[in-house]
Chain A
Amino acid sequence: MAIDWTTFTLEVINFLVLVWLLKRFLYQPVIEVLGRRQAGVARILEEARRVEAEAAERRAQFERRLADWEAEKASLRAGLQAELETERGRQLSALSRTLVAERERQRAQEDHRAAEQRRELEAQAILQARRFATRLLSRLAGPELEGRLIEVFIADLTQPPGDERAGEDRFAGLDLTALDEEGRARIISAFPVAEAQRQRLAAALTARLGRPLPLDWAEDGSLLAGLRLTLGPWQLNLSLADELDAFAQAGNHAG
């Protein structure tokens, strides 16, 4: 088969035309679409990278903030721990002081209770002693003992003031200015007093007081023995019952 030059030339032209046509209607549009799509994909990728970078930045920021929070939390916790330690120490100290005070209070209460018991025992002992002494002296009491007590009273009255041999001066505080002219002295005895002894007692009183006083005599068996002299607001006791009462009261006061 030989080359037909007309066909050869036309085929060259045909192919060149075909190249132009396909470039114009096929390759160019497809390449443009592909390019636009690749540009779109590139934009999306760029946007995705930007979002990723932003997310990474936010994540880093969040982690930094978290670290700051953790540090702050640790600091606050340390501060709170220190405060708790301080508060615990303070409360332990206060508790210790309270315990010491409570112990002191209990000890004081115990001492007070013991003192009360001791005082009560002493009072009971004094009461028992008084009863015992009362029973004993009731059996011993009689006119003779009373007479001796009256003699002791008369001796005390006749003792000059300031004489220390007589012991306590029972009449040091007597003030007869409070008695009016009609003032009377009242003498109570456990047994009837003999007339002679009455006169000696009146004489001793007159000598002691500096003026005579009318005397009213009475008897009271509860005195056991001895007498009780009443001068206005004053009362002088020289009886076993009064002495026992004084003993009991002195014991209570001493307790």
Chain B
Amino acid sequence: MESLPALFHLGPLGITATVVTTWGLLLILALGSWLVTRHLSLDQPGLAQTALEGAVQAVDEAIEAVLPGRGGLLLPFIGTLWLFVALANLIGLVPGLSAPTGDLSTTAALALLVFFSVHWFGIRAVGPRAYLRHYLAPSPLLLPFHLLGELSRTLALAVRLFGNIMSLEMAALLVLLVAGLLVPVPVLMLHVIEALVQAYIFGTLALIYIAGGMQSGPEASPATTSPPPAVPVP
């Protein structure tokens, strides 16, 4: 396996197309957010503001459904995951661009961030001792299995997203090569759906992992816990 070639170099760093595309997404999202939220109206929200508020509230309610009272804390991370992964998946539909999530480096970076976020939010929620103790529950003999589970689910998170998006792009490319110009359109529609579904799965799994970490201690009361939603994992 070989990595993507660098488009240019910044000193010793080779900048690949994935990074450039990500920067572009970063710029678009930052500028778009600034433009949209520049004149938010309290009394007479426009169509865009209403849609934006609805989207933010939907993400917040999804987090609250899993972790009641923690929406404000997790909204930036989980919301950004959903938004970035969805856009990164869809950007591959633009001719000449490739999806950043079709690069294992990106999905591995996101999975690593999710991995550390689980511990970070877990320790913040229940404290380091209680958090680390849950690896020994119900028996210290299960510690290797816990560690193995942590690594395997992080790896699965990265590989699942990478595999799905890469395969989608490759399939679309093969259909385009074999069948002609307009034939891949239905495949591209499937690409859209698959991109959104994969973004939802990635963000929801991250939310569930983080919720598991935050509810691992004895302080977690039954009233603040709720069963995680069922997530289809292809």
Contacts and interface: CB of A to CB of B under 8 A. Distances in A.
Interface of A: 1-12, 14-19, 21-23, 25-27, 29-31, 33-34, 36-37, 40
B224 interface: no
Given A9-B109, A19-B77, A22-B29, 18 more contacts: A1-B1, A2-B104, A3-B104, A3-B105, A4-B4, A4-B103, A7-B106, A8-B109, A11-B19, A11-B105, A11-B109, A11-B110, A12-B113, A14-B19, A15-B80, A17-B26, A22-B33, A29-B37
Contacts, number: 127
A19 B110 CA distance: 12
Contacts of A19: 76-77, 80
Nearest to A30: B56
Interface of B: 1-4, 6, 13-16, 18-19, 22-23, 25-26, 29-30, 33-34, 36-37, 40, 42, 45, 49, 52-53, 56-57, 72, 75-77, 79-80, 83-84, 100, 103-106, 108-110, 112-113, 162, 166
A8 B29 contact: no
A27 B166 contact: no
22 contacts: A2-B1, A3-B108, A7-B109, A8-B105, A9-B109, A11-B18, A11-B22, A11-B109, A12-B112, A14-B23, A14-B26, A15-B84, A15-B109, A22-B76, A22-B79, A26-B29, A26-B56, A29-B40, A31-B72, A33-B53, A36-B42, A40-B42
Contacts of A9: 109
A41 to B, nearest CB: 11
Contacts of A3: 3, 104-105, 108
A10 B112 CA distance: 13
Nearest to A37: B42
Contacts of B106: 7-8, 11
A37 B19 CA distance: 39
Contacts of B49: 33
B40 to A, nearest CB: 5
Query: DSSP majority for the A interface?
Result: helix
A111 B40 CA distance: 114
A10 B18 CA distance: 10
A37 B22 CA distance: 34
A22 B40 CA distance: 15
A19 B79 CA distance: 9
A18 B108 contact: no
Most chain A beta-carbon contacts within 10 A, residue among B6, B22, B23, B25: B22
A84 to B, nearest CB: 66
A1 B3 CA distance: 5
Contacts of B83: 22
Nearest to A19: B80
A36 B106 CA distance: 37
Contacts of B77: 19
A5 B15 CA distance: 11
Given A12-B113, A30-B40, A33-B40, A2 B3 contact: yes
Contacts of B80: 15, 18-19, 22-23
Contacts of A4: 3-4, 14, 16, 103, 105
Contact of B37 (A17, A26, A37): A26
A217 B162 CA distance: 186
B37 A1 contact: no
Nearest to B2: A2
Nearest to A12: B109
Nearest to B9: A6
Nearest to A4: B3
Contacts of B79: 22, 27
A15 B79 CA distance: 12
A31 B18 CA distance: 31
Nearest to B26: A18
Contacts of B14: 4, 6
